Amino acid sequence: MTSSYAVAALDRGDIRKNLTSLVSHWRPRIDEWKSTGKRHTEKSHAQQFWSDLLRSFGVIPERIDLFERDAARASTGNTGYIDLFWSGVVLGEAKSLGRDLDAAFSQALDYLAGGSIEQHEWPNLSAPSLRSVRPRGTSAPQRAGSTRDGRKCLLEPRWPRLVSG
């Protein structure tokens, strides 16, 4: 469900400032987790991170049903939970620090192929980790500049990498 009040209009300068603030908030936490070997960071912090990231773009996550969407997995036929799902917009799979990020992307594709998400709900972006966002139809994170099909990309230095259509 998306309310007309779920997204505030922000200009690029505001978004860039918000993303810089996001990095300033999250980078020290992540560095500490790395230095102390903290485990299970996905379960403990993913929803807060996604919420903070969306707020950077003017999205009010509390007004949209975004987290832990039930979905069938094609590989097993079992039901799992997509970490972040905004119908027609983004699918996000977070992994704890040190985990295989390609596995997160494969997991996202597995949910899409599982049959419980209708094709009209498929996102324009998939966010298979807390470090990268991929446009639908690409197999690897893109660098700053443009995507393979020429769409412009926005890259915030080091954290997070975002690609918009």
Q: pLDDT tens-digit profile of 23-77? A: 999 999 888 888 888 877 777 888 899 999 999 999 988 888 899 999 999 999 9
Q: Is 137 a residue whose pLDDT tops 90?
A: no
Residue 142 banded pLDDT, cuts 50, 70, 90? very low
Q: Which of 70, 73, 105, 102 is nearest to 85 (CA)?
A: 70
**Model-level pTM?**
0.68
| Residue 127 pLDDT grade (very low, low, confident, very high; cuts 50, 70, 90) | low
Under 8 Å between Cβ of 138 and 95: no
CB neighbours of residue 32 within 10 Å = 10
The conformational region for residue 9 under phi > 0 = left, psi -120 to 50 = alpha, else beta, is beta
CA 90, chain centre distance (Å): 7
| Across 92-98, average pLDDT | 82
pLDDT at 145 over 50: no
**Which residues does residue 81 pair with via DSSP β-bridges, in sequence order?**
70
The CA distance from 40 to 95, in Å, is 9
Q: Where are the alpha helices (DSSP H) in the chain?
A: 12-36, 41-56, 101-113
